[in-house]
Amino acid sequence: MSTMLTPVLFLIIWTLIVWGWMYATRIPAMKAAKIDPQSAIHPGSLSSLPTKTRVIADNYNHLHEQPTIFYALAFYSHLVGVADEINIALAWGYVALRVAHSLSQIVLRKVMARFAVFFLSTIILIIIAIRNLWALGV
């Protein structure tokens, strides 16, 4: 059964998958580059790692930025009863686009493709927010 919170769970699971992917590539890359883990105390200290390794960490960070708005909207929609079929479908669309965003950043590494997916996912958040406002009678 799909509720407004089921897509939240799936995005959390995806974030944890990217976390595992990040460390599965970062640790061997650090060993190969002979980087002392303590030197990673400062942001940017791992800039000598290959792009294919860094983009995974960048995406992991991105999964903690805009999705916070999604989480808030999903919980709000669920709690106030605006978790109808349309908002649930939009939530699933958002999750699918976030996975596509991750893959475009990590695998394709094409900025404009990633931007297009980010833009569409943002539009979904705006639609969910507007639908919640309409439910308030605003």
Within 10 angstroms of residue 108's Cβ, the number of other Cβ atoms is 12
Residue 51: pLDDT band by 50, 70, 90 thresholds?
very high
Cα–Cα distance measured from residue 96 to residue 116, given in angstroms and rounded to the nearest whole number: 13
Distant-in-sequence, close-in-space partners of 108: CB < 8 Å, separation ≥ 6: 114
Cα–Cα distance measured from residue 16 to residue 130, given in angstroms and rounded to the nearest whole number: 30
Mean pLDDT value across residues 3-12: 97
Instruction: Provide the total of helices (H) and of strands (E) in the chain, helices listed first.
Output: 5, 0
Three-class SS state of 45: coil
Closest listed residue to residue 92, CA positions, set 68, 124, 135: 124
Quote the pTM value: 0.94
Cα–Cα distance measured from residue 106 to residue 55, given in angstroms and rounded to the nearest whole number: 6
> In this structure, what token pair is assigned to residue 49?
């790692």
The C-alpha torsion from 109 through 111 and 113 to 118, rounded to 10°, is 110
Any idea which fold 5-136 has? Answer: Four Helix Bundle (Hemerythrin (Met), subunit A) (1.20.120)
Q: What is the pLDDT of residues 59-102, one digit of tens each?
A: 999 999 999 999 999 999 999 999 999 999 999 999 999 999 99
